[in-house]
Amino acid sequence: MFDLSLDKLRGYRPEVAAPADLVDFWRRSIEKARTDDLSASFTAIDNKLAVIDTYDVTFAGFGGAPVKGWLHVPAGATGPLPTVVQYFGYSGGRGFPHVTNLWAQAGYAHFVMDTRGQGYSAGGGSGTPDDSAYAGLNHTPGFMTAGITDPETYYYRRVFIDAVRALEAAKASPLVDPDKIIVTGASQGGGISIAAAGLAGLAGIELLGCAPDVPFLCHFERALQITDEDPYGEITRYLKGFRHDVDAALRTLSYFDGVNLGRLATAPTLFSVALMDAICPPSTVFAAYNHYGARPDVAKDIEVYSYNEHEGGQTYQQLAQLDWFANIFAAKESSTDR
């Protein structure tokens, strides 16, 4: 236990300054992305599975670049189905179609998005390059510092816009109920899901829920102070060399911080945190959780795993999510019937 005690974490609401033009920056980024045709396509494939149907997805992300994904549904489903959109952890990707389809097994549509430039730990069907002109700017190995001196060029601007476009692509499928979408992901995927929940409103998209699991990309300054683990360590190494970039880098990161983007969210949320997690320290997760929600009445809960590191709850958290997703979707169904 290297971080704050649990009782202090539950009340931890640090001052994390948001840039004055945060909303304008993201609204402009979304509008710019929409000047490219979404061009969402869904091609049925043989996934070697008897109970799941899978579609190979391509859509236009940031800059019109093609982004890959899978759409999994129960075999024979004709839709529209409640849908879970999933984003992946650092280095992960959509991989082979038989690997990640839990939410389709639960009876939902399950849309997974590749993370551009990543996917090397998943292999298989992952293959969404980051071919932006900004990808070659000075940075440490990895993705955390690519374009870090300016929010316009930062790597995660492209990723977060891809995440919003993934929601639009999902809604374009007749298998997806556009009024019943939850976003989720672990680690980096958790950070992306928080960003997607915060930006959805700016994009005119209503989400039913957001379920970030041991989320990354939250309260950057705190993370840099208390852990030297990667991927946050990539930023430390960059600033160790490029000493003159500290102020510019921290300013850029404020546009992408889960604390600031989560404040914009209106969907209910279920977080998770692991108290021995040195990769995504508990205080960074609780900072995002405690600040989450554009209104005081936004429902939120957090599962705490006291003796786990970054693996977090794993199957225990999936059980919690299965119950939470079912309740969220059932509540929406009930309200629609009235």
Does 185 have pLDDT greater than 80? Answer: yes
β-strands 269-274, 176-186 pairing: unpaired
* Positions marked active-site: 187, 277, 310
pTM given for the model: 0.97
pLDDT band at 335 (very low <50, low <70, confident <90, very high): confident
Cα-to-chain-centroid distance, residue 298: 19
Alpha-carbon gap, residue 76 to 304, rounded angstroms: 38
Q: 181 in helix, strand or coil? A: strand
**In whole angstroms, what is the distance from residue 2 CA to residue 227 CA?**
10
Give the mean pLDDT of 249-256.
Answer: 98
Dist. CA 28–CA 24, nearest whole Å: 6
98-126: per-residue pLDDT in tens? 999 999 999 999 999 999 999 999 999 88
Burial category of 110 from C-beta neighbours within 10 Å (exposed 0-12, middle 13-18, buried 19 and up): buried
**In angstroms, how far is CA 148 from the centroid of its own chain?**
19
- Average pLDDT of the residues in 269-283: 98
| Burial group, residue 37, by CB count within 10 angstroms (0-12, 13-18, 19+) | exposed
Question: What percent helix, strand, coil does the chain show, rounded to 5?
Answer: 35, 20, 45
Give per-residue pLDDT as tens, 149-180. 999 999 999 999 999 999 999 999 999 999 99
Given a cut of 90, is residue 308 above it in pLDDT?
Answer: yes
Given a contact cutoff of 8 angstroms between Cβ atoms, the answer to whether 245 and 149 are in contact is: yes
Q: How far apart are CA 55 and CA 70, in angstroms?
A: 6
Instruction: Please state, in angstroms and rounded to a whole number, the distance separating the CA atoms of residues 101 and 69.
Output: 12
The string of pLDDT tens digits covering residues 191-241 is 999 999 999 999 999 999 999 999 999 999 999 999 999 999 999 999 999
Q: How many CB atoms lie within 10 A of CB 258?
A: 31
The structural architecture, per CATH, of the domain 6-330 is: 3-Layer(aba) Sandwich (3.40)
DSSP H stretches of helix in the chain: 6-10, 22-33, 102-105, 155-171, 188-200, 220-226, 232-241, 246-254, 258-262, 282-291, 315-337
Domains of the chain, by residue range, sit at 6-330
Grade residue 133 by pLDDT with cuts at 50, 70 and 90: confident
* Per-residue model confidence (pLDDT) at position 138: 83
Of the candidates 131, 116, 124, the residue with the CA atom closest to the CA atom of residue 161: 116
User: Tokens representing 245?
Assistant: 């970039």
Q: Average pLDDT for residues 243-250, to the nearest whole number? A: 98
Q: What is the pLDDT of residues 55-101, one digit of tens each?
A: 999 999 999 999 999 999 999 999 899 999 999 999 999 999 999 99
pLDDT at 336: 78
